[in-house]
């Protein structure tokens, strides 16, 4: 899936392993279009990590907060050097405002459902000790995630 066409309005930026792109419980100022690299999304409860997803290659982060205005219900940390396009939330919101009303309603509804799903995953500790459908976190990766968000 190619989330970003040849549009060069925003420049690609490089992020190093351990960089935090999204903090759980805080609003994000950017939507990230991940082009290359690996980023883990997860929640933390009682000092335990509960993985949600792994973006490996290309993907999207921060869109849920953009459309709902709520703080993020997950953290996102770079696992391997990553290239992404940072788009200011304000730019995305202005684009939605200029679109027909149904576009904003549709995107808001989809984002709201996504956030509820992430809440359920964290609340019920789905995937528990397994990361991303069966791939376990190494001790080193888990230490790096903890260090990055504290």
Give 32-63 pLDDT, tens digit per residue.
999 999 999 888 887 788 787 888 888 889 88
- Whether 89 has a pLDDT exceeding 70, the answer reads yes
pLDDT of residue 73: 85
**Sign of torsion, CA 27 33 38 40?**
positive
pLDDT of residue 48: 82
**Sign of torsion, CA 91 118 73 53?**
negative
Angle at 96 between CA 108 and CA 91, to 5 degrees: 115
Average pLDDT of the chain to the nearest whole number: 82
Give 105-123 pLDDT, tens digit per residue.
887 788 778 778 767 776 7
Write down the pTM of the prediction.
0.77
Is 11 or 9 the better-scoring residue by pLDDT? 11
Is 130 or 146 the better-scoring residue by pLDDT? 146
| φ and ψ of 118, to 5 deg | -60, -40
């Amino acid at each position: 899936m190619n989330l970003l066409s040849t549009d060069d309005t925003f420049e690609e930026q490089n992020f190093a392993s351990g960089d935090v792109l999204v903090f759980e419980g805080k609003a994000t100022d950017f939507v990230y279009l991940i082009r290359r690299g690996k980023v883990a999304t997860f929640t933390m409860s009682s000092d335990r990590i509960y993985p949600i997803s792994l973006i490996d290659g290309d993907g999207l982060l921060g869109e849920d907060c953009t459309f709902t205005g709520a703080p993020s219900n997950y953290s996102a940390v770079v696992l391997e050097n990553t290239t992404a396009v940072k788009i200011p939330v304000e730019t995305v919101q202005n684009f939605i405002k200029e679109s027909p009303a149904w576009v904003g309603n549709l995107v808001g509804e989809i984002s709201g459902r996504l956030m509820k799903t992430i809440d359920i995953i964290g609340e019920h500790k789905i995937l528990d000790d397994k990361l991303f459908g069966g791939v376990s976190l190494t001790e080193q990766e888990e230490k790096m995630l903890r260090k990055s968000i504290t």
